[in-house]
Structure 1
Amino acid sequence: MSLEEMKGLHLQGEYIKPETKEVNGILMTKIVSDKWDKIWNFQAKPDDLLIATYVKSGTTWTQEIVDMIQNDGDVQKCQRANTFERHPFIEWTLPPPFSSGLDLAQKMPSPRTLKTHLPVQLVPPSFWKENVKIIYVARNAKDCLVSYYHFSKMLKMLPDPGTWEEYVETFKAGKVVWGAWYDHVKGWWGVKDQHRILYLFYEDMKEDPKREIQKILKFLEKDITEEVLNKIIYHTSFDVMKQNPMANYTTLPPSIMDHSISPFMRKGMPGDWKNYFTVAQNEEFDKDYQKKMAGSTLTFRTEI
């Protein structure tokens, strides 16, 4: 389907629900599953950097921080192109005229910064073989759920989330694209000491961006001045990024992302889940959470 046809459908108010298909037991959109062999055989390079997250866990924020670090705080350079063009999203494909993440990555000169939402077991093997540096960011499940719910409503390339009540159950069951949050965060946590992985928490980044950016600097073996560091903290703050068209996804047509339903950058604040969960839903969620996270040393804060 052409972009024009998609726009046409959008104008008629029709919702194009994408097909989904599992890849090794993980729900994906058919766009991803159809080219899974190509994704799995993607060739990483030793000087790549991979930013990995579960959906709606501070991915774009981390991408902007990294880009600012790599460009020594040069705001103009960091606005040279959309986030998704600067840091190819390896398993994703936007409709024409946009290039797929794979195509963008293959054409990009080294060193490349790439992005993925893949659970650890689906990461192309070349990333491990080349010992690529990976930054993983995890966010607490409740805020993730709320954010993913709104995101699924505005991003036309994700399945319709249904009602809030339905979505809470869908999320708990892991029947969402990219699989269960629980398995995702635990999977990456389990391998963090065997590879060059910096595991960060969204809540820590919100609480003290300076401290967390310094961790990223150390991991990337980069030195910057205090002045540049402060500039990065300012330009990657939620309010500034929300106004940056190269980071807030407003350059995509409403047939792909409809910001009138919900902005891509919505609130960016830990604890928003309290505005959505009923007391009963919260109790049920907590019980289910304890079961699913039992035995893991991974702990999250649901507010700061």
Structure 2
Amino acid sequence: MDQKSGQEVWDPDWIERSKLVEVEGVTLVSGTAENWSRLWAFAARPDDLLICTYPKAGTTWIQEIVDMVQHGGDPQKCARAPMQKRMPFIDLFLPKPMTSGLEDAEGMPSPRTMKTHLPAQLLPPSFWEQNCKIIYVARNAKDSAVSYFHFHRMNQGMPEPGNWDQFLEAFLVGKVACGSWFDHVRGWWEAKKWHPILYLFYEDMKEDPAREIQKVAQFLGIELTAPVLKRIVQHTTFESMKDNPMANYSTLPTFFLDQGVSPFMRKGVVGDWKVHFTVAQSERLDEICAQKLESSGLVFRTEP
């Protein structure tokens, strides 16, 4: 921490690509696995709000929407700090002396809003015990895989992705950080039957953001006037967020997130998977999806 500015100071030598380690049958990055006992013992509070997604499913988008809803659509209040400080990522453990998302969360006053990419079965039990509200966003597997691949390329702390074909193979069998996409989306879908979870779909958010933002507000017990709703919609467009340094992670050094390789906010569309998938890869994923999500009631759209 720089004493004058109060900003965290990064050293390039701290950053190295993580390895994958299994925890309870789910592959996680090594930093999370090494701190598992601390994370599992995390003490949630009844008024905590948890935002959960499989990686690259519109996480930052829903975080900014929630922050705007919570602050009456005031963009100035949402510019108080970068996203990772406003809503700590509890399962992110950076190399020391960087603070972890868990430490940031533990030091926050209530009410807290936090983020996780954990599957439902690995969520620290205090969140269930305290009956915390949870917002989950799911994105179709094809676009998720493509976005996650490019994220691995630019994030120098993530495992080496290999080429697209290699990464997709690992994705299909769940040997990527946070495990199987299929198990993740289904596990949280099942959990909403017995826990207060607002389950949203990325494709619905793209189709009608105002409608989905209203769902968020209603879930949080907040009334939005028409002008405030309009302001939130405008503030959280992809174009607006791509230019917002408090949301686009441009405050982090390039030796960690190299946005020259691929922007953190890359395209934000439905259907970009068609640029990457072969016909055979698309058909194979469709088959696995049908098998893994059978009888769940979960349906995903892969077209705009």
Shorter-chain TM-score above 0.5: yes
Matched, 1:254 2:254: yes
Match of 1:108 in 2: 108
- Alignment partner of 1:4 is 2:11: yes
Moved more, 269-278 or 291-300: 291-300
1:152 matched residue in structure 2: 152
Task: Count the aligned residue pairs.
Answer: 296
Give the secondary structure class of the aligned counterpart of 2:203: helix
Equivalent in the alignment of 1:13: none
Other structure's SS at 2:67 match: helix
Q: 1:53 and 1:89, CA in 2 relative to 1: closer, same or farther beyond 3 A?
A: same
Percent identity at matched positions?
A: 55
- Contact 1:50 1:116 (8 Å CA) reproduced: yes
Distance 1:239 1:96, change over 3 A: farther
Question: Is the CA contact 1:137–1:199 (under 8 Å) kept in the aligned structure 2?
Answer: yes
Structure 1-normalised TM-score? Answer: 0.94
Give SS of 1:73's match: coil
Amino acid at match of 1:68: M
Contact 2:105–2:112 (Cα < 8 Å) also in 1: yes
Alignment of 1:221-300 (within 5 A): 221-300=221-300
**How many angstroms does 1:95 deviate by?**
3.6
Preserved CA contact (<8 Å) 2:10 2:253 = no
Separation of aligned partners in 1, 2:169 and 2:89: 28
Deviations 1:176-217 (A, max 9, x none): 000000000000001102011000000000000000000011
Quick check: 2:65–2:236 contact (8 Å CA) kept in 1? yes
- 1:19 maps to a residue whose letter is K
Contact 2:51–2:136 under 8 Å retained in 1: yes
CA RMSD between the two structures: 1.4
Which residue of the partner structure matches residue 67 of structure 2? 67
- Measure, in 2, the Cα distance between the counterparts of 1:5 and 1:185: 35
Tell me the equivalent position of 2:93. Answer: 93
For the 8 Å contact 1:56–1:148, the answer to whether it is kept is yes
Amino acid at match of 2:13: M
CA shift, 1:94, in A, is 2.8
| Structure 1 residue ranges (4+ consecutive) displaced by more than 3 angstroms after TM superposition | 95-98
Match in the other structure for 1:201: 201
Unmatched tracts of structure 1, length 5 or more: 10-15
Q: Residue in 2 aligned with 1:302?
A: 302
Can you list the C-alpha shifts for 1:223-259, whole angstroms capped at 9, x where unaligned? 1211111000000000000000010001111121110
